[in-house]
């Protein structure tokens, strides 16, 4: 794995290693252990859209690994004045060890990666959110000990996070049922790709059908960043797609609810569910940190032992 642009970049062995590394980083951090694996390394983080979790978890993650993260608002860069993405990629590759990008267009990240000589990580695009999916898989494994054979129900917009869940269906072995109003159903090409990767993906007619007997219920905002002009139409279309007590009551015993956050309380999810016993949302948010640290350690090969010793000795 050179880049993490799509969840499809993650193979089964990659996933197993990332999950094991993240579990170890999480457990040892709780015991007060430090992991200075990336001393002297820097991560540039370019944001074309707002972020709370992605920004903070990557920045803190780099710090905890002994490295440094630079928050670059696209508005403050020469990109805003027309500098080419390809030129920016070439130059940043001379300074930093990896680049994380949150972009309006997925193609921007692909173009950046095509010209970068360092790893590029997708911190969310209009098409995918692979870092989120890795944290979600980790959270499900914490709760169930596995993903294989579970049923995941997506209720709501067939958006970037939903796409990554669909594309990961083969990787996780989860049956993915999607309930979305017709105009907001996932891109058929994404569903076809998910199936080609061995995923079992079912288009459910109603939220109730998707959730019946499910082990994991996913939802997300009805209005993703960039879709604000459609807000009124979306609110109408998504009435009936709220994850509430009644809907969750149809799921399997022991089912958990995930939401990548930010949540719009009272819209796609009720307070009772978000704050209730079925919610794994706060662990899910925390796990962004541990899993991304594993991703960073894997993509930015740490210094070899000799240079590390030299550094410690000054």
Q: What is the binding site for ligand CP (CB under 6 A)?
A: 51-54, 124, 132, 260-262
Catalytic residue (choose from 41, 242, 278, 288): 288
Choosing from 106, 126, 127, 260, the catalytic residue is 260
Cα 150 from Cα 298, distance rounded (Å): 28
Secondary element (H or E) of residue 72: strand 68-73
Q: With respect to ligand NVA, which residue has the nearer C-beta, 41 or 102?
A: 102
Catalytic choice (21, 132, 162, 177): 132
* Contact status: 160 vs ligand NVA (CB under 6 A): yes
Under a CB-based contact definition with an 8 Å cutoff, are residues 161 and 218 in contact?
A: yes
| Cβ pair 242, 222 in contact under 8 A | no
Q: Is 102 a catalytic residue?
A: yes
Instruction: Give the separation between CA 202 and CA 125, rounded to whole angstroms.
Output: 24
Cβ of residue 30: shortest distance to ligand NVA, in angstroms?
26
Question: Interface with ligand NVA includes 164 (CB under 6 A)?
Answer: no
Q: Is 221 in the site for ligand NVA (CB under 6 A)?
A: yes
Helices 85-95 and 106-115, interaxial angle, to 10°?
Answer: 50
CB of 266 to ligand NVA, least distance (A): 17
Question: Looking at beta carbons only, is 123 or 194 nearer to ligand CP?
Answer: 123
- DSSP label at 49? S
Q: Is 136 a catalytic residue?
A: no
* Beta carbons of 169 and 153 less than 8 angstroms apart: no
263 binds ligand NVA (CB under 6 A): no
DSSP string of 139-185?
Answer: HHHHHHS--TT-EEEEES---HHHHHHHHTHHHH--EEEEE--GGGS
Catalytic residue (choose from 162, 220, 267, 278) = 220
Size of the site for ligand NVA (CB under 6 A): 9
- What are residue 62's phi and psi, to 5 degrees? -65, -45
Residue 80 DSSP label: G
CB 210 within 8 A of CB 165: no
Least distance (Å) from ligand NVA to the CB of residue 54?
7
Q: From ligand NVA, ligand CP, none, which one binds at residue 221 (CB under 5 to 8 Å depending on kind)?
A: ligand NVA
Q: Is 288 a catalytic residue?
A: yes
Alpha-carbon distance of 51 to 132, in angstroms, equals: 13
- The label of the residue with tokens 């007997």 reads 213
Shortest gap between Cβ of 142 and ligand CP (angstroms)?
A: 18
DSSP state of 204: -
The one catalytic residue among 102, 193, 259, 290: 102
Q: Which residue is nearest to ligand NVA (CB)?
A: 224
User: Is 220 one of the annotated active-site residues of the chain?
Assistant: yes
Q: How far is the CB of 213 from ligand CP (least distance, A)?
A: 27
Work out whether 220 is an interface residue with ligand NVA (CB under 6 A).
yes
Residues involved in catalysis: 102, 129, 132, 220, 260, 288
Q: Which residues of this protein are in contact with ligand NVA, per CB under 6 A?
A: 124, 159-161, 220-221, 224-225, 260
């Amino acid at each position: 794995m050179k880049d993490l642009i799509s969840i499809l970049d993650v193979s089964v062995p990659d996933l197993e290693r990332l999950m094991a590394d993240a579990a170890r980083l999480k457990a040892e951090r709780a015991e007060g252990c430090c992991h200075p694996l990336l001393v002297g390394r820097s991560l540039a983080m370019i944001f074309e859209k707002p972020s709370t979790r992605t920004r903070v978890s990557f920045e803190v993650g780099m710090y905890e690994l002994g490295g440094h993260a630079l928050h670059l608002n696209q508005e403050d860069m020469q990109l805003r004045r027309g500098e080419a993405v390809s030129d920016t990629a070439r130059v940043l590759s001379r300074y930093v060890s990896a680049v994380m990008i949150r972009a309006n267009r997925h193609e921007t990240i692909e173009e950046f990666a095509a010209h970068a000589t360092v790893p590029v990580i997708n911190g969310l695009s209009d098409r995918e959110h692979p870092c989120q999916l890795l944290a979600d898989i980790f959270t499900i494994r914490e709760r169930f000990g596995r993903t294989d054979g579970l049923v995941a129900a997506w209720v709501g917009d067939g958006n970037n996070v939903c796409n990554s869940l669909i594309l990961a269906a083969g990787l996780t072995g989860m049956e993915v049922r999607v309930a979305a109003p017709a105009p907001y159903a996932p891109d058929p090409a994404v569903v076809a790709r998910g199936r080609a990767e061995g995923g079992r993906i079912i288009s459910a007619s109603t939220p109730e059908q998707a959730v019946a007997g499910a082990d994991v219920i996913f939802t997300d905002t009805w209005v993703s960043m960039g879709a604000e002009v459609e807000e009124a139409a979306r609110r109408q279309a998504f009435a009936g797609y709220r994850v509430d007590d009644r809907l969750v009551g149809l799921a399997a015993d022991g089912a958990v609810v995930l939401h990548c956050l930010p949540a719009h309380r009272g819209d796609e999810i009720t307070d009772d569910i978000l704050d209730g016993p079925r919610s794994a949302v706060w662990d899910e948010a925390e796990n962004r940190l541990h899993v991304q640290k594993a991703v960073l350690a894997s993509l930015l090969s740490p210094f070899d032992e000799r240079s590390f010793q030299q550094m410690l000795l000054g």
